């Protein structure tokens, strides 16, 4: 009787293990098959608008803005187009990793030849302190179960995912206001944040890629109070000094006109429409002052952009219901 019980118990253990192994293999295979090979397609699960860049006419973009959600909420390509005639697109996605930033730029350069790449640097510091646990968890989970990242691909399987022209150029609109007191970690210091090797490596790969293609790289940090600090600023300063003084605009140190009582949607993590407009105005001015970009308003080649601009303003208007000067 006892033997029967033991064998019954083992039968259950073995069957549970076999079931779990089969389940895992099925999940892994399905996840792997569903994971697109094109980085733009991968990004589009998190940021549907990003694929809109594929329907832009080849070699029409002056600038691409790369980064995580800070860029999606912080830079308004249509504002820069309206004011300075700059044709740009946000190659940004939620939680973009340094490696994804490189992959996506590499992919886009197959059809576009931007003169300038604007790269937000916040994401090169994901790896440390407060984010370590999250990222370890996220990466392990993402690697072991690709289905989590690729699950929305059933939409494409069901019947192709057509790329639509994006009037936002992958800018994420938000007019929420959740004020904060600004960045408390911007007191001057000589401390230099130690960047992780893999982040530096990926940043260097982007620098090299831009060099090879003759593209000017501009590093920026969009105003943000949650993670950014002076020691991180120093880390980027150190990096640019070691790499031919790549321009670096830290908008947490330069006054771009951001008022933290009205310009952030979530207490300093992201800009809202009003904050993003100020950031875009500053960035646009900087780009036309320093590079031969912009002034495409009225050009026949950019007729579609004029329509996009009209649709964009019809949809979102201007911050605080005002008019653009």
Partner 1 sequence: MMLLKLDNPMIVLFATLVLSLLFYYIFPVKYRYIVLLIASLSFYLLMNSYLIAFIVFTIITVYFGARWIQKNNDKAQADKDNKEYRNKIAKYNKAIITSVVVINLLIIGALKYFGFLGSIVNGVLGWFSTELNWPIIALALPMGISYYTLQAIGYMVDVHRKRIQADKNFVRVALFLCFFPALQEGPICRYEQTANMLYNGARFDYRMFTFGAQRILWGLFKKAVIADRLGMLVSTISSNPYEYSGYASLLFIIFYTIQLYADFSGFIDISLGSAQMFGFNLPENFRQPFFATSAQDFWKRWHITLGVWLKEYVFYSVALSPKVVKFCGKIKKRWKNYFTKMLPTILALLAVWMCNGLWHGPEWKYIFYGLYYFVLISVSMLCEPYVKKLYEKWNIDSNNKWLIAMRHVRTILIIFIGETMFGANTLEDSWHILISVFTPYHGNVFELGIDYKEMIIAILSMAVLVVVDVLNEKKGDVRVSIAEKAVPIRWTIYIALLLSVLVFGAYGAGLYANSPFIYGGF
* Minimum distance, C-beta of residue 74 to partner 1, in the bound complex (Å): 11
* Minimum distance, C-beta of residue 253 to partner 1, in the bound complex (Å): 20
* Minimum distance, C-beta of residue 43 to partner 1, in the bound complex (Å): 9
The contact mask relative to partner 1 for 169-198 (x = CB under 8 A, - = no) is ------------------------------
Of the candidates 99, 115, 128, 151, which one interacts with partner 1 according to CB under 8 A? 151
Q: Could you give the CA distance from residue 35 to residue 52 in angstroms, rounded to a whole number?
A: 19
Asked if 182 contacts 268 with a C-beta cutoff of 8 angstroms, the reply is yes
Residue 138 interacts with partner 1 (CB under 8 A): yes or no: yes
Q: Give the residue with the Cβ less far from partner 1, 147 or 256.
A: 147
Q: Any idea of the CA torsion for 126, 91, 168, 220, to the nearest 10 degrees? A: 60
Q: Give the residue with the Cβ less far from partner 1, 45 or 312.
A: 45
How many C-beta neighbours within 10 Å does residue 200 have? 16
Number of residues in contact with partner 1 under rule CB under 8 A: 42
Residue 285 interacts with partner 1 (CB under 8 A): yes or no: no
Of the candidates 33, 141, 144, 254, which one interacts with partner 1 according to CB under 8 A? 141
Residue 12 interacts with partner 1 (CB under 8 A): yes or no: yes
Residue 132 interacts with partner 1 (CB under 8 A): yes or no: no
Task: Identify the H or E element spanning 221.
Answer: strand 216-221
Q: Can you count the helices (H) and strands (E) in the chain?
A: 12, 5
Bridge partners of 80, per DSSP, are: none
Token digits of residue 57? 């006419």
Per DSSP, the three-state class of 16 is helix
Residue 237 interacts with partner 1 (CB under 8 A): yes or no: no
Q: Could you give the CA distance from residue 102 to residue 43 in angstroms, rounded to a whole number?
A: 12
Q: Could you give the CA distance from residue 285 to residue 166 in angstroms, rounded to a whole number?
A: 23
Q: Give the residue with the Cβ less far from partner 1, 23 or 295.
A: 23
34-72: string of b/e by CB count within 10 Å (b at 16+)? bbeeebbbbbbbbbbbbbbbbebeeebbbbbbbbbbbbb
Residue 103 interacts with partner 1 (CB under 8 A): yes or no: no
* Minimum distance, C-beta of residue 289 to partner 1, in the bound complex (Å): 29
Residue 158 interacts with partner 1 (CB under 8 A): yes or no: yes
What are the residues binding partner 1 (CB under 8 A)?
A: 12, 15, 19, 22-23, 26-27, 30, 34, 44-48, 68-70, 93-95, 122-123, 131, 133-134, 137-138, 141, 145, 147-149, 151-152, 154-155, 158-159, 226-227, 269-270
């Amino acid at each position: 009787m006892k033997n029967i019980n033991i064998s019954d118990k083992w039968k259950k253990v073995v069957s549970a293990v076999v079931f779990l192994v089969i389940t895992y293999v099925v999940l892994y295979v399905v996840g792997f098959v569903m994971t697109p090979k094109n980085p733009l397609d991968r990004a589009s699960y998190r940021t549907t608008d990003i694929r809109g860049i594929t329907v832009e006419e080849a070699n029409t973009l002056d600038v691409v803005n790369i980064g995580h959600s800070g860029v999606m909420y912080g830079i308004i390509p249509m504002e820069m187009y309206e004011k300075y005639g700059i044709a740009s697109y946000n190659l940004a996605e939620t939680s973009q990793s340094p490696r994804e930033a490189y992959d996506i730029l590499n992919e886009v350069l197959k059809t576009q030849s931007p003169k300038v790449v604007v790269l937000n640097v916040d994401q090169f510091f994901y790896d440390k302190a407060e984010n370590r646990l999250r990222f370890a968890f996220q990466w392990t989970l993402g690697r072991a179960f690709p289905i989590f990242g690729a699950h929305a691909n059933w939409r494409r399987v069901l019947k192709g995912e057509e790329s639509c022209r994006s009037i936002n150029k992958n800018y994420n609109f938000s007019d929420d206001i959740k004020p904060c007191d600004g960045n408390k970690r911007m007191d001057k210091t000589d401390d230099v944040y130690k960047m992780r090797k893999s982040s530096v490596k990926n940043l260097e790969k982007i620098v090299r890629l831009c060099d090879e293609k003759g593209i000017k790289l501009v590093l920026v940090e969009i105003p943000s109070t949650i993670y950014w600090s002076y020691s991180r600023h120093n880390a980027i300063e150190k990096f640019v000094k070691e790499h031919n003084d790549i321009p670096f605009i830290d908008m947490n140190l330069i006054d771009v006109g951001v008022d933290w009582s009205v310009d952030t949607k979530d207490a300093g993590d992201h800009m809202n429409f009003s904050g993003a407009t100020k950031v875009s105005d500053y960035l646009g001015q900087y780009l036309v002052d320093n590079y031969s970009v912009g002034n495409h308003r009225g050009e026949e080649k950019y007729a579609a952009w004029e329509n996009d601009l009209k649709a964009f303003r019809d949809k979102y208007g201007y911050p605080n219901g005002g008019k653009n000067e």
